[in-house]
Chain A
Amino acid sequence: MGMTMVQKILARASGQGRVKVGDVVEPRVDLAMSHENGALVINQFNEIYRDTGRSAKVWDPSRIAIIFDHRVPAESSKTATNQKKIREFVAQQGITRFHDIRGDEGGICHQILPENGYVLPGSVVVGTDSHTTSHGALGAFAFGIGATEMASVWALGRVLNVEVPATIKVVVDGELQRFVEPKDLILNLIGRISAEGANFRVIEFHGSTIRKMSTSGRLVICNMSVEAGATGGIVPPDGETRRYLRKEAGVKDLPKLFGPDRSAPYDRVIEIDASKLEPQIAFPHTVDNVKPIGEAAGIRIQQIVIGSCTNGRFDDLETAAKILEGRKVARGVRMLVFPASYRVYVRALQKGVVARLIAAGAVVMNPGCGPCLGVHQGALADGDKALATTNRNFKGRMGNPNAEVYLCSPAVAAASAITGEITDPRSLEPAGKARG
């Protein structure tokens, strides 16, 4: 029997010819990523070395990436002090892939890693963030771990006691309709299989729709695989992966690409006809509470958020700007836009995307996680309904347990900003006509 993508990656990373589902391995880590929770990792790392008589040095400072994104610029003295502690640790350990709060290199970790070429196909990436699954878009096995687990990785350079996960194969064929986006595809899948439908499994994406999808779109579907409980999402790398890494990420030496074996064992195969998909909405308060947009039409919204590690990339901002061109954000609606990185932001500035968004009434904020996790930059009032391109709508997620969060694609978010209620972008009149 052959091997799935993740079996092949784990076999290589643990120095074995082959591994079976359920085998326990200790894979070498190619990249270990943290953000502000690096402060806790440092604490746990020092704890490991306490009273050992050994000096607390990380196994390989060139394989650790730390990106400030969750609370930038710091919203509190506590965060500022955590960030300071991390800066000192980075300097002391010689960590080079450090992205501080800076316009020339900052952004959200799940955009910074791919756009800087830190993630290569076939590699093992761990991050102290559940959306580390994003990097499966480049053919890596990338998964989220906790801070203590990361402290152990910093010490040893491998993840201890990993059980080789089973894989669900998702085959997507057909052309997505206009204004139907990768976000709708992944929301639809999560709705079908539920928030625990892929628990302890990896989702491997196949089919003509995925082959035609940009890396930006693949990042969306792998990012949100974790919302179905998946350990990882992964797209077998191809010509698009090569193009992205060379042209956009500046990678010179690409590893040999590989996909799963034809005879790879899959736990389950799910087929999706992309041409039949409609825009999707995840209703409060679970990500798997997904309905086609028709069932959400007319729900009044007070805050729109476009951004996050899920949908804050250039194409997302451009889609929103095109829809908003010549139109205005409805009165009573706050539209907040968070580019996923400064590279995204600068490109959107150069292409006039930012100017169009601002002209329509949107507030363009600094790159970062923004209000997605409820810390700052866009809190909700009691009773508010937010419509967001982010990834979670749990009760209290945007900082207020007495508010509601609906999830959608950038196109739906932009269309809804115009009307002030959840709106199918396919139903919008051309801009000129709408203005009368």
Chain B
Amino acid sequence: MSKVVLKLGADISTDIIYPGRFMATVLPTETPQYCFADLTGFNARLRAGEIPPGSVIVADRNFGCGSSREQAASCIKGYDLRVIAKDFARIFMQNAINLGLDMVICPGIEASEGDEVVVEGGKLVNETTGRSFDITPLPRARQAIIDAGGLIPYTRKIILES
């Protein structure tokens, strides 16, 4: 079970998740400091270590739209947060899968900050409201990458088998 620590609307762009002015910082070890940099309160809590791993960001539709910057996925991954959205933009979703970010597609999700949510048997359950919602599986084309733990180990395996 994990707590919703941030509730966002639709069309959250990668400029919100990781503002362009920090794009010269590329390494996954360094990007987390700028995660949601313009949401100054949330960013400060992240950097202060006040948000435990496994905590949840809930968003509406089209999360991660805009630029292809992978920093948007790596900065969230750096805090081991889970992102639950009604749906995701394509490049963000692929980056997230490639980096092994914990993401859940839940078209009907209703949750507020502070709610406790849990994934159980293909459903997302909001323990606070008692409601449960269907989950859309991640694209089956990408399942092998997910199973391998991300694109780096998956590609490495292909190279070693060739």
> Chain A, 339-351, contact with B by CB distance < 8 Å: what is the 0/1 string?
0000000000000
Instruction: Determine if B141 and A152 form an interchain contact, defined as CB atoms under 8 angstroms apart.
Output: no
Give the secondary structure class of A's interface. loop
Instruction: Determine if A146 and B68 form an interchain contact, defined as CB atoms under 8 angstroms apart.
Output: yes
From A39, A148, A286, A397, contact of B20 by CB (8 A): A397
Question: Is B156 an interface position by the 8 A CB rule?
Answer: yes
**Which B residues are CB-close (under 8 A) to A155?**
155, 159
Instruction: Determine if A71 and B67 form an interchain contact, defined as CB atoms under 8 angstroms apart.
Output: no
Give the secondary structure class of B's interface. helix
**Which B residues are CB-close (under 8 A) to A47?**
152
**Which A residues are CB-close (under 8 A) to B155?**
48, 151-152, 155-156, 160
> Chain B, 13-28, contact with A by CB distance < 8 Å: what is the 0/1 string?
1011001110111110
Task: Tell me the minimal C-beta distance from B100 to chain A in angstroms.
Answer: 10
How many residues does chain A have at the interface if contact means C-beta atoms less than 8 Å apart? 56
> Chain A, 145-185, contact with B by CB distance < 8 Å: what is the 0/1 string?
11111011001100011110000000000000000000000
From A37, A40, A152, A196, contact of B61 by CB (8 A): A196
Question: Is A290 an interface position by the 8 A CB rule?
Answer: no
How many residues does chain B have at the interface if contact means C-beta atoms less than 8 Å apart? 46
Q: A199-B87, A200-B90 known; A396 and B38 CB under 8 Å?
A: yes
Bound: A149/B73 CA distance, A: 13
Task: Tell me the minimal C-beta distance from B155 to chain A in angstroms.
Answer: 4
**Which B residues are CB-close (under 8 A) to A200?**
90
**Which A residues are CB-close (under 8 A) to B25?**
78
Question: Is A399 an interface position by the 8 A CB rule?
Answer: yes
Task: Tell me the minimal C-beta distance from B36 to chain A in angstroms.
Answer: 11
Q: Which residue of A lies closest to B31 (CB)?
A: A40
Question: Is A118 an interface position by the 8 A CB rule?
Answer: no
Instruction: Determine if B68 and A145 form an interchain contact, defined as CB atoms under 8 angstroms apart.
Output: yes
> Chain A, 28-44, contact with B by CB distance < 8 Å: what is the 0/1 string?
00000000110110011
Question: Is A401 an interface position by the 8 A CB rule?
Answer: yes
Task: Tell me the minimal C-beta distance from B26 to chain A in angstroms.
Answer: 4
Task: Tell me the minimal C-beta distance from A360 to chain B in angstroms.
Answer: 29
**Which A residues are CB-close (under 8 A) to B11?**
195-196, 286, 288
Question: Is B144 an interface position by the 8 A CB rule?
Answer: yes
Instruction: Determine if A396 and B141 form an interchain contact, defined as CB atoms under 8 angstroms apart.
Output: no
Bound: A176/B59 CA distance, A: 39
Q: A48-B155, A163-B141 known; A146 and B91 CB under 8 Å?
A: yes
Instruction: Determine if A144 and B24 form an interchain contact, defined as CB atoms under 8 angstroms apart.
Output: no
From A48, A152, A161, contact of B142 by CB (8 A): A161
From B15, B68, B71, B90, contact of A394 by CB (8 A): B15
From B23, B70, B89, B158, contact of A70 by CB (8 A): B23
Subset of 25 A-B contacts with CB under 8 Å: A40-B27, A43-B26, A49-B159, A54-B159, A71-B23, A82-B24, A127-B68, A144-B91, A145-B94, A146-B98, A148-B98, A149-B95, A151-B155, A152-B154, A156-B158, A160-B154, A196-B11, A196-B62, A373-B23, A375-B21, A392-B67, A396-B16, A396-B21, A401-B19, A401-B38
